[in-house]
Structure 1
Amino acid sequence: MPVATGRRRDARCLLRVGLRSTACNRPRVWIDPVLLVALALASGAFLVDAPLATALGALGVAGVLRRHLSAGVFVGALVALGMGCARAHWEVAAYEAAYERARSGFRAPERCALEGRVASSPVLSHDRIAFTLSLEAGRCESLRLPAGIGVRLGGGPRDLARGDRVSVIAQIAPIELLHNPGLADPRPFAARRGSVVSGTALDVSIDERGRGPSALIDRARAAVRERILATFAPAAAPLARALVLGENDLDEGDAAAFAKSGLAHLLAVSGTHLVFAVVSIVRAFAAVLVRIERLSAARDVGRAAAVFGMGLAPLYADFAGGSGSAWRAAWMLMAAFAARALGRIPCASRALALSVLTGWVVDPLVAFDVSFLLSAAATAGLLVLGGPLARPCERLRSRPARAFGKAIATTLAAMAPCAPLLAMLGSDLTLAGVFANVIAAPFGELVALPLCLAHAVTAPVPLLEQGVALVASGALLVVRQIAHESAAATWLAFGVPDPNAYQLALCAPLFTGFLLAVLPSGRPGHLCRAWVVAAAVGLGVIEVAARRAGAPEGELRMTALAVGQGDATLVDLPDGSLMLVDAGGALFEGAPDPGERVVVPVLRARRRERIDVLVVTHPHPDHAGGVFAVLDAVSVGEIWLPVSASDDAPALETRLLAEAARRNVPVRGPRALCGRSRAFGGAVVRVLAPCPDSVPGRSINDNSLVVRVELGERALLLMGDAEHEQENALIAHPAIRLRADVLKVGHHGSRTSTSEVLVARVAPRVATVSCGVRNRFGHPSPEVVERLTERGVRVLRTDRHGAIHVRTDGRDMWVGAARPSVPALVERLRAWSLAARVSAARGSSSHSLAP
C-alpha cells in the first residue's frame, strides 16, 4: 500500500507525495484510507473467481498492516471488499443469464437481420472494422434475439461512429467461453465486454448518424486513422495506430517481439503517454492565457488551465481508444487538476486512490482489466519505489552515469509490481527489457509520440504532414528494431511459472511488506516480518503442490480440454508421463489458435515442460493446427501420426513431418504402433486402428488413430474423428477389446459416427463430446446423444460443461467438469462419482453410474 509521511510546505512536496505528517522532522507511517478502500472495492471482484485465494491475500495484507490500521479503517476496507464482491457477482450472474438465453436458441451460426446502435468505438483490425452493436431488434432464420444484448461484429464502413443507428445483415453465433482447469474464468472478462453473440457483418447500412461528443470523437479517430495509413511507412503504420488510437493490430512477429522485450507499454496509451499529451496541451493553453495581460493580472490562469485539463483528460482518453490504462491515467490526472483548480497541492497517492475508485464505480469488474491493473501497479511502483531505487544513483559522479542509473531505477520501479501480472500473462521475464526500455524510451516517448500527435493536425499542409510522418516512421521503426533485438536476446530471459490464484494473492502481503521496509520510517515490526516470511514460504509450498498436482503419479487422469470446435485431450499416466491427443486448431485463417490460447497455457499452469507422447489422430486443422504452438512451447518425446498411405499427403501432415524432422522428434505411424502395447507405470496404451497401416481410399477421418488406455479395471477409448467405416472395421474384429468406461465420442458426435453397435460393444459409463458453440455442423447430432442416453450413458459436452476431467486409480473413478456454475451438473457429477466408487468397491461389473 502506498504510505505517507510529512507534508512539505513548498512545491517540492509534489515529488514526495504519499508521505505525510504533522511534523516534518518526526515522520510517522500513515496509510491512505481512501486508497485502501478503493483497492478493497476493486479487489472484491476477485472473490467471484477465487474466493479462498482472495480472502487469503486480504488476510495477509491486514496482517502486514496491523500496526498501521485503525479498527475503523479495517472495518471499512472489509465492508468495501464485500461490496465489490456483491456488485461483481451481480454483473457476472446477469451476463451469464443473458448468455444462456442467447446460447440456448442457437444450434449453429445463423444469418440474422439486426437493428441497433453502435455502442463501442469502432477499431480497425485485420483490415476490417470491428464494433459492438446494442441490439434493438434481431430476427434470425430460426429465432428472435432479445433486445438489449450486445453483438460484436466485424465488417462495415470505416466511418462508423458511436450512436449511429444501423441495419445489419450478419452471420452470428454465441461467443465462445472456454472453461479450462488452471486458466482464468472467462465469464468476468466476457461480462466486461458485454457481448453475448458475435460474427461477421455481411452488409451494414447507416440509417441515422449519431450525434454528441462520442460520435465526434469517433469521426476524428477515423480521419486520423486514414491519414496514418496514407502517409506512414507500411511497417510503421500499425505502430502509429497503436500509439495514437490504441488499436492493437500488429502482425504476429511484432506483437511477440514487443511482448517479450517488455516494450509493449511504449505502444500502449499508458499513463506516461496520457500525461505527456494532456499536460503538454494544458501547459500550452496556460502559456496562451499568461500572454493575455488583463486576464493573467486578474485571475490565476494556472487554475483556469487546470479546469481545462479536467475536461481534456477524459476526452483524450476516449480518443486514444479508451483502454483501462488510459482511463485510469485520465481519472488520476483529473484528480490532480481538480486539486490544482481548488488551490490545493495534488497528492499522488490520493489521486491514484480516486482513479481506482472511479474505475470501480464505472466498471465493477475493472479488476479483470489487465491494462488497468498494469497501469495502477506501475504507477504505485513509481510513486513508492522510484525514490529509494534512484537514491543510490545520486552518488555517481558522472552526469551520464547518473542519468543512466536513474533511468534503470525508474524502469525497475515500474516493472517490479507488474512482474506477477506479466507472469500471469505467460510472458518470460527478461533483463534485456530493462536496458531496452532505457534505449527505446527516448525514441518512443520523446520523438515518436510527439510527432505522431503532431501528425494528427498537419493534414491541411500535405508537405508538412508527409515530413512528420517520415520522421515519426523512422523513430517507430527504431523502437521496433530494438524490440526485436531485445526479444532475440534469449540468454537474458528467464521463464517463470504461471502464478495461480493463491500465489497472486500471496504477492499482495509480500509487496506490502516490502514497501514498509523500503520507505523512510516504515520500520516493519516483528509481526509484519512474520507475515511476510509466511507469505514467502507459502509461495514455495504452493509451487511444490502445483507441480505435484500437474504431474500426478499412481493414477490415470484424462482431461478433455475446451478448445471450441476441435479436439485436445491430456492424458496423465501413472508414472508421471504425459500424453497429448490432438491440440485443437483454428478452422479458418485469422481465428485464434487454441493450441496457443488453451493447450500451452494449461501446460504452463500444470508446470509441464515435456510431453512424452504427442498423438495426432489425423491431420485436420481442428485436431492438428494447434500442434505447432505446442512444439514451440515444450519438448516432445515422440509423435504418433497416421502417415498417409498415398503420396498425396495433406499439407498439414507434410508440414508436421518437416517440423518433427527439424526438431529431431521421432514420428511413429500405424506400422510401428499396431499390435504393440506400451506400458506407463501400470497403464497400458494400445493403438487399435488403423491397423496394420493407413488404408488407401479411406477418408482422413476414417484413418484416425483410435487409442485405448487401460489401468486396472478402468479404460478410456479415444476415437479421434473415426466414422462408420472405421467403426465397422473395429467391430468386425471380435478379438479387439473395445470396452471402456469413458468414450471420447468420434467426430465430435457427428451422425456419421458412434453407431448403435459400437456403443453396445464399448458399453461406456461416460461419453465426452468435444465441440464448440459456434460450430456450423450441428455437433453433436441429437441422434447420437439420444442413442447414448438411452443406454444410460452420461453425455458431457465441452461447449456446455467446459473441460471434462476423469480420474481413476484402476478401481474408483471420479468425473468432473471445469464449469461448476451449473448446479444440476455438479450434483449429478457427485452422484456419478459416488456410484462409481461404490461400484468399484463392490467389484461390480455394472456400467451404470446412476445413483
Structure 2
Amino acid sequence: MVNALAIPWFTLVLVPIALLSMIVPLDFLRTFAAYLTEKTMQILNTIAEYAPEYYPAHAPLALWLLAMLSVLILLLPRGWYLRPLCLLILLLMLSYRPPRPAQGEALVRVWDVGQGLAVSISTAGHELLFDTGTAYAAQSVLLPNLRAAGIRQLDTLVLSHNDADHDGGAVLIKKQLQPKKIITGQINAYQFPVHPCTAGANWQWDNVWFEFLNQPVATNKKGKNDYSCVLRVVSADKAVLITGDLGKKGEQALLKAYGDKLFSQILVLGHHGSRYSSDAAFIRTVAPQFAVASAGFANPYGHPHIQVQALLAQENINLLRTDRMGGIQSTLSERNLSWQPLQAYKPYWQRKPINQTSRL
C-alpha cells in the first residue's frame, strides 16, 4: 500500500526534479530536490515504525496465475463488471493459508541456513522452532521462508545453546515471530527471559509428544556444545531426535540415561555431522532410518565428516544433506516416511553440484 503511493511519487516527481537539477545549473532547484527527497525519506521512516506489516503466505502456482490474470483485467479500460471478482481473487491470494498437518501428525522442516541449524516442527495448531542459524541466515533465509510457510507466530522457540550458528538470529526471530516461550540450554547467555530445557520436561500438542532428554555433562567453561538442548518429537509410531551441537560425551550420557528409548527414525546429526559427534554406539542405539546433516555448502570444516559418512553407510542409514539438497521436509504420521525438497524447482544458478568431495 505504501509502494502504491511512493513509487509514483518517486517516478513522476522526485526523479524528474533531480534529473532537471543536474541539467539546469540552478542552486535553488538542487536545494529543492534535496529538500523533497529528505522529507520523503523522513515520512517513509515514520510510516515504517508504525504501519503494520503483512506477509502473505506462498500461494500455489494456479492461484498466482489467477491473480496475475485478475490484475490484467483490472487494468483494462473495459470489463468493469469482472472487477469485483478480480478483487475477490486478489483478496483470496493475500489471505491464503497453507494446509496444516492433521491431528496427531507433525511436519518436520530442516531449513537450509548454510553452516548452522534451524528445524521447525508444525502440528495441527502449534509451531516450534529449534535454533535459528546465524543472524544473516535468519534475516535473509529463515524468516522469509517461515513467513512464506504461513508461520506468523511461534508457540515455542528452542535455542539449543549459545553459539552464533544456532542462536545468531534469536533477537530477530523473537521480535518478528513473538514466541510465547523461549527455552535454551544456557539460560545465562541471554538478555531476555528464557526457560531451561531440563531432562524429563514434556508436553503434548495436538496428540504429538515433545520431550527434552538432555543430561548434565562435565565440561569446561568454554565448551558450549554439551549444554545443547536435546529434543525428541513423537507422532504415531515415528520419532525425530534433534541434538544441537551435542558431542560424544553428551551422547554417551544420553545412552546411559535412556538406552534403547532413544530409538528414532530420524536423527538430526549433532554438530552438523562433525567427527566429534555421532558416537558409533549412539548411532547404533538410535538406529535411525534417516540422518540429516545441516551444513553449509563447501564449508571449511568438512561437515558432514567422512568418518561419519562411513559409519552411516556401514549401518545402512540414509544420509540427507542440506548442503547438497537444500531445505527438506517430512511428516511424522502413520504413513511411511518420505522426504521432499522444500523448493521443488530451482533455476540453474541455484543448483548445487551433485558430487562434492568431503574433506578429511
Same fold flag (TM > 0.5): yes
Q: Which residue of 2 aligns with 1:683?
A: 208
In the alignment, which of 495, 498, 523 is matched to residue 54 of structure 2?
495
Question: 2: distance between equivalents of 1:442 and 1:820?
Answer: 40
Q: Which residue of 1 aligns with 2:129?
A: 580
Aligned partners of 2:156 and 2:179 also within 8 Å: yes
Aligned partners of 1:568 and 1:623 also within 8 Å: yes
Q: Which residue of 2 aligns with 1:511?
A: 71
Q: Amino acid of the residue matched to residue 119 of structure 2?
A: T
Task: Determine whether 1:799 maps to 2:349.
Answer: no
In the alignment, which of 744, 748, 751 is matched to residue 272 of structure 2?
748
Question: 2: distance between equivalents of 1:748 and 1:811?
Answer: 28
Equivalences for 1:330-479 in 2 at 5 Å? 415=4, 434=5, 444-445=14-15, 447-451=17-21, 453-454=22-23, 473-479=34-40
Q: Which residue of 1 aligns with 2:250?
A: 726
Question: 1: distance between equivalents of 2:63 and 2:311?
Answer: 45
Offset of residue 445 of structure 1 = 3.1
Aligned partners of 1:617 and 1:705 also within 8 Å: yes
Question: 2: distance between equivalents of 1:616 and 1:560?
Answer: 15
Q: Which residue of 1 aligns with 2:114?
A: 564
Deviations 1:566-602, CA, capped at 9 Å, x for gaps: 11111112x421110011114xxxxxx2212222222
Q: Which residue of 2 aligns with 1:668?
A: 195
Deviations 1:73-118, CA, capped at 9 Å, x for gaps: xxxxxxxxxxxxxxxxxxxxxxxxxxxxxxxxxxxxxxxxxxxxxx
Offset of residue 720 of structure 1 = 0.4
Offset of residue 603 of structure 1 = 2.1
Aligned partners of 2:210 and 2:233 also within 8 Å: yes
Aligned partners of 1:510 and 1:532 also within 8 Å: no
SS where residue 767 of structure 1 aligns? strand
Question: 2: distance between equivalents of 1:803 and 1:437?
Answer: 35
Shift in CA distance, 634/438, structure 1 to aligned 2, threshold 3 Å: same
Q: Amino acid of the residue matched to residue 503 of structure 1?
A: L
The sequence identity of aligned pairs, in percent, is 25
Task: Determine whether 1:739 maps to 2:263.
Answer: yes
Offset of residue 771 of structure 1 = 0.8
Equivalences for 1:622-637 in 2 at 5 Å? 622-637=165-180
Task: Determine whether 1:809 maps to 2:358.
Answer: no
Bigger Cα displacement from structure 2, 557-566 vs 603-612:
603-612
**Which is richer in helix?**
1
Question: 1: distance between equivalents of 2:125 and 2:208?
Answer: 11
Shift in CA distance, 696/782, structure 1 to aligned 2, threshold 3 Å: closer
Q: Amino acid of the residue matched to residue 62 of structure 2?
A: Y
Q: Which residue of 1 aligns with 2:97?
A: 547
Residue ranges of structure 1 left out of the alignment (5+ in a row): 1-259, 263-414, 416-433, 459-463, 587-592, 662-666, 823-851
In the alignment, which of 287, 295, 298 is matched to residue 771 of structure 1?
295
SS where residue 478 of structure 1 aligns? helix
Question: 2: distance between equivalents of 1:565 and 1:797?
Answer: 11
Aligned partners of 1:552 and 1:572 also within 8 Å: no
Q: Which residue of 1 aligns with 2:149?
A: 606
Task: Determine whether 1:483 maps to 2:44.
Answer: yes
In the alignment, which of 756, 768, 788 is matched to residue 312 of structure 2?
788
Q: Amino acid of the residue matched to residue 632 of structure 1?
A: K
Q: Amino acid of the residue matched to residue 204 of structure 2?
A: A
Question: 1: distance between equivalents of 2:242 and 2:231?
Answer: 5
Q: Amino acid of the residue matched to residue 288 of structure 2?
A: P
Tell which structure's C-alpha radius of gyration is larger.
1
Q: Amino acid of the residue matched to residue 114 of structure 2?
A: G
Task: Determine whether 1:595 maps to 2:138.
Answer: yes
SS where residue 689 of structure 1 aligns? coil
Shift in CA distance, 541/616, structure 1 to aligned 2, threshold 3 Å: same
- Give the structure-2-normalised TM-score: 0.83
Question: 2: distance between equivalents of 1:808 and 1:773?
Answer: 27
Q: Which residue of 1 aligns with 2:342?
A: 818
SS where residue 716 of structure 1 aligns? strand
Question: 1: distance between equivalents of 2:12 and 2:56?
Answer: 32
Aligned partners of 1:694 and 1:703 also within 8 Å: no
Aligned partners of 2:57 and 2:94 also within 8 Å: no
Q: Amino acid of the residue matched to residue 132 of structure 2?
A: A
Aligned partners of 1:549 and 1:606 also within 8 Å: no
Aligned partners of 1:611 and 1:634 also within 8 Å: yes
Q: Which residue of 1 aligns with 2:225?
A: 701
SS where residue 732 of structure 1 aligns? helix
Q: Which residue of 2 aligns with 1:420?
A: none
Offset of residue 793 of structure 1 = 0.6
Equivalences for 1:235-274 in 2 at 5 Å? 261-262=2-3
Residue ranges of structure 2 left out of the alignment (5+ in a row): 347-360
Question: 1: distance between equivalents of 2:16 and 2:88?
Answer: 43
Q: Amino acid of the residue matched to residue 315 of structure 2?
A: R
Question: 1: distance between equivalents of 2:298 and 2:34?
Answer: 40
Question: 2: distance between equivalents of 1:507 and 1:442?
Answer: 27
Question: 2: distance between equivalents of 1:439 and 1:515?
Answer: 20
Offset of residue 498 of structure 1 = 3.9
Question: 2: distance between equivalents of 1:770 and 1:489?
Answer: 37
Shift in CA distance, 499/716, structure 1 to aligned 2, threshold 3 Å: closer
Deviations 1:148-168, CA, capped at 9 Å, x for gaps: xxxxxxxxxxxxxxxxxxxxx
SS where residue 339 of structure 2 aligns? strand
Kindly tell me the number of residue pairs found equivalent between the two proteins.
Answer: 345
Offset of residue 615 of structure 1 = 0.5
Q: Amino acid of the residue matched to residue 559 of structure 1?
A: R
Shift in CA distance, 481/608, structure 1 to aligned 2, threshold 3 Å: same
Aligned partners of 1:578 and 1:612 also within 8 Å: yes
Offset of residue 758 of structure 1 = 0.9
Aligned partners of 1:808 and 1:814 also within 8 Å: no
Offset of residue 702 of structure 1 = 1.4
SS where residue 301 of structure 2 aligns? coil
- Give the structure-1-normalised TM-score: 0.37
Aligned partners of 1:443 and 1:475 also within 8 Å: no
Shift in CA distance, 450/543, structure 1 to aligned 2, threshold 3 Å: closer
Equivalences for 1:648-659 in 2 at 5 Å? 653-654=189-190, 658=191
SS where residue 758 of structure 1 aligns? helix
SS where residue 549 of structure 1 aligns? coil
Question: 2: distance between equivalents of 1:621 and 1:771?
Answer: 14
Shift in CA distance, 697/627, structure 1 to aligned 2, threshold 3 Å: closer
Shift in CA distance, 765/438, structure 1 to aligned 2, threshold 3 Å: closer
Across the aligned residues of Structure 1 and Structure 2, the Cα RMSD in angstroms comes to 3.4
Question: Relative contact order: is structure 1 or structure 2 higher (C-alpha 8 Å, sep ≥ 6)?
Answer: 2
Offset of residue 786 of structure 1 = 1.3
Offset of residue 611 of structure 1 = 0.6
Offset of residue 812 of structure 1 = 3.2
Question: 2: distance between equivalents of 1:754 and 1:499?
Answer: 36
